[in-house]
Amino acid sequence: MQTRTGTRTATGLLLILLATLLYAPQAEAAPLVAPSTVWGHTYAAEASGVLSVPATQSANLEKRSKFVVNYKNFPDWAKNEVQVAIDLWAANFDSKVQINVDATWSRSSTADVLGSARPDRYYARFVGAPDSTLWYASALANALAGKDLDTNNPEIIIQINSEAEWDLDGLGKPTRFEYDLKSVMFHELAHGLGFLSSSSYLYDRAKGEYVGSLDQPTPFDAYLQTQDGNRLADLPSPSTELGTAITTKLVWSGTEAIAANGGEKPLMYTPTSYDGGSSVSHLDENTFANSGTNAVMTPNLEAGEVFNEPGPILVAMMKDLRNKPAPGLAGGIPSEVLNAQALIADSSVILTFDPPVNSRTTQVSEYIIKNLNNGKEKSVADSPAIISGLKNGTSYSFKIFASNAKGTSLEVTTKPVTPRAAWKSQVIDPAADARSVTSATLNGQPVIAYVDSKTSVLRLAKWNGKSWKKSTIDSNISGQISLCVSGKKSKQTLHMFYADKTENDLRYASVNGTKIVREIVDGNAEKVQSYEELVRVQTASNVSVSNACAITNEGIQVFYRDETQGVLLGAFKYFGGEWNYELIDGDRKTDFRTTGDVAFHLKALADGNKTYVLYDSVLEIDQNRDATSGEIRMATRTAIDPGAWRYRTLESPKADAAIVGYDVEIAKSAKGIMASWFSATPLSMPDPTMLRTLNVLSKSAVSAISTSNFGTPNELMSSDSQTLIFNCFGRLCAIDYAKFSKGQSAIALVTSWQSAEPTGSAWIVLNKVRYAVAGINGKVVLLKVA
């Protein structure tokens, strides 16, 4: 990025700006995320001797939450039935966060399955979690956290059998041969909201027997008790003991449900022959089949059976899920903690570690951390832990113990770590969090564009030599922004590209003085244009994931990911002309192109008339949708011509870098064009461990540096000609290109405040002083390079 300096002195600048120094408050670590792979089913059963009488519909329909359903192939009559079930849950489930449901109408692989559902994901260790050792279903986690922990995915996944014998008249009175869709949907929504065990029953070839598995115990699992009083969540996994537990008697131990069941612990459905999708995740069929509304969460729905309200036991169990389960029975002394690490922070150290191998059975109550420099001890509930009040520049070591009611584990000692100061900060907008932020130089002065995720408003801050002048460019915006400038001296135009939050279109605004012109570049056509078509036009694809622009003397170019087809598209126009469209990469393994799923992360740079486009390419994924193989690619051309692209793979998967990508950055420096990205080893996947750089104009090899002393790196890179900023364990870190090339200690701590989401950053120059811009602790700030 080319910059120009202002005209005022640095001293004057510091007096003019609102100088609010941001020192590190209590860290908010990013929550842990795990895929959801276990489904809960509703099975079709024949009508019993007496036809079920529908319960009176509840009069309490005051909404306590909002559900939004993404229908896939649903007929209109079915949508009406689903809406009734949605309204019932909206009146019985508390959440300030919108609950998004993906519902598919298709033939079931098993004819007697009426419907299936699961949460999209599970979350642990988020702010608001009643028990940090448990995993909460997406919608329940959001409700407890008070915010959407993942804005890119739905909370609930539901599949309805399109070929079942449904009651089609919508009157809620199915015959003895028909099934009530509303009742099935209501049942499945309960599974999606967290009424579901994540346990499974697997054959262990080594043991030659079936074992139980429970990798991420949920609060539902923690409330399940065996006959001897042990919690299901505390049993070792995988194990024969756990397998026996889920095929024998299990009861619910939550106080709310016990009270609703007349003082008795509700019996769960655990047949001796394990039934996937039914076992453990339902109330017992024999006990509750004829219990009126309490039968709604038994595994089978009889033909003619209708439910118009949840029933007191289901409501009580859902209340239990919001409370912290009682601790289990401690069996022995904990073993030592695993993977203990001390990370650099400002006047503090962040300690991370994994629980002991036997943490479930021993019921670890706390972790004791001892500062070996002064002997002081601190008790924490889990990892990460912040040890504050330390001296920058002094080396520290720590011992960590796991403790329970019966004793303390063996010690684990961390490697020495030396705290260091973060960069100084100054607030320029106290009312915007600016997760997406970028910058440019316009008419000789810096400009900053950023999106406030709370309001989805795109704002532009211009430095006029005295202060920042802020204006609103557009609304309902999400994702990343790219900026490019055309023209010379004081007659320049700013070009802004960004995503429409609702329609997933690529939008564009040109700013010339006070005049703003807006338009949609792509994504708003009537149909998706196949990647196989050579003549390109606008498409209806989702094009909101990534974008990057570049301007040469010929005209304006913007590049963006087609999420619908996984290819890299481009649009260009000559100055004063109309948009033209092109396909850049990801379509085929010819002409040096790739069949990889490309451009999840994307950056572009124009150097004279040469355009560089840097992007990642995912080659393989696993069943959890995590990448297991990926490469870094670059496309270049010296004229705006769809046929002029030349392709190069900068790094392919190898033994110590199975995945390369996660984010990319490209910048022009005094020594060439610097490209940067991350890499992960097969053992670290899906998390990256290394930062990698390459001068694409030289013959040198890729250079790599570990971020282990600062924590796991993450996306949203930004760089100028000298320094690269990246996320490191929820904070910002920086690497000095010059020091890195000389083999010196190159990583610096930029911010010590931790965010649950990656922090965006950009670069500006004011009065010959370099600053990074970022959204820190809900504010847009300047960070002075140390």
pLDDT tens-digit readout, 578-626: 999 999 999 876 778 888 899 999 999 999 999 999 999 988 876 556 7
Asked whether residue 354 falls in the same domain as residue 286, the answer is no
Per the DSSP assignment, residues forming a β-bridge with 709 are none
Q: Report H helices in 155-311.
A: 181-193, 219-222, 240-245, 255-260, 285-288
Centre a 10 Å sphere on the Cβ of residue 358 and count the other Cβ atoms it contains: 18
Q: Directed axis angle between helix 138-145 and helix 181-193, to 10°?
A: 60
Asked whether residue 273 falls in the same domain as residue 354, the answer is no
Q: What is the pLDDT of residues 702-749, one digit of tens each?
A: 888 888 889 888 888 999 989 999 999 889 999 988 887 777 778 999
Domain total for the chain?
2
Contacts of 402 (CB under 8 A, 6+ apart): 334, 335, 336, 337, 355, 356, 359, 362, 364, 367, 408, 409
Domain boundary among 294, 319, 344: 319
Q: What is the pLDDT of residues 515-556, one digit of tens each?
A: 999 999 999 999 999 988 889 999 999 999 999 999 999 999
In a domain, 388, yes or no: yes
Amino acid making up residue 606: A
- Contact in structure between 90 and 63 (CB atoms under 8 Å): yes
Angstrom distances, CA of residue 153 to CA of 25, 98, 139, 149, 708: 30, 12, 11, 10, 30
- Contact in structure between 352 and 343 (CB atoms under 8 Å): yes
Question: What gap in Å lies between CA 713 and CA 161, rounded to an integer?
Answer: 43
**Residue that the structure tokens 């965010």 belong to:** 755
Asked whether residue 141 falls in the same domain as residue 247, the answer is yes
Asked whether residue 313 falls in the same domain as residue 367, the answer is no
Phi, psi of 190 (to 5 degrees): -60, -45
Domain boundary among 262, 294, 319: 319
In a domain, 196, yes or no: yes
In a domain, 590, yes or no: no
759 pLDDT above the threshold of 60:
yes
Name the pLDDT band for 687 (thresholds 50, 70, 90). Answer: confident
Q: What is the CATH number of the domain that holds 371?
A: 2.60.40.10
Q: What is the pLDDT of residues 408-434, one digit of tens each?
A: 999 999 999 999 999 999 998 888 888
Contacts of 218 (CB under 8 A, 6+ apart): 122, 134, 135, 136, 137, 194, 196, 197, 198, 233
pLDDT mean across residues, the chain: 88
pLDDT at position 625: 65
Q: Report H helices in 247-377.
A: 255-260, 285-288, 312-320, 359-362
Asked whether residue 282 falls in the same domain as residue 401, the answer is no
pLDDT at position 584: 95
Amino acid making up residue 531: Y
In a domain, 73, yes or no: yes
Q: What is the pLDDT of residues 94-126, one digit of tens each?
A: 999 999 999 999 988 788 999 999 999 999 989
- Contact in structure between 718 and 772 (CB atoms under 8 Å): yes
| Structural domain that includes position 370 | 336-415
Segment 442-452 shows an average pLDDT of 93
Q: What is the pLDDT of residues 70-97, one digit of tens each?
A: 999 999 999 999 999 999 999 999 999 9
How deeply is 634 buried, as exposed, middle or buried, from its count of CB atoms within 10 A (0-12, 13-18, 19+)? buried
Domain boundary among 393, 415, 437: 415
**Residue that the structure tokens 């959204």 belong to:** 775
In a domain, 683, yes or no: no
In a domain, 22, yes or no: no
Asked whether residue 404 falls in the same domain as residue 275, the answer is no
In a domain, 243, yes or no: yes
pLDDT at position 61: 56
Instruction: Quote the tokens at residue 120.
Output: 């999209």
Of 21-25, 65-69, 602-606, give the lowest mean pLDDT range: 21-25
Asked whether residue 370 falls in the same domain as residue 293, the answer is no
Asked whether residue 170 falls in the same domain as residue 290, the answer is yes
Instruction: Quote the tokens at residue 557.
Output: 């170019």
pLDDT at position 170: 75
Asked whether residue 355 falls in the same domain as residue 267, the answer is no
Asked whether residue 291 falls in the same domain as residue 373, the answer is no
Share of the chain above pLDDT 70, in %: 93
Residue with the bigger pLDDT between 460 and 206: it is: 460
Asked whether residue 279 falls in the same domain as residue 343, the answer is no
Asked whether residue 271 falls in the same domain as residue 383, the answer is no
In a domain, 184, yes or no: yes
54 pLDDT above the threshold of 90:
no
pLDDT at position 624: 56
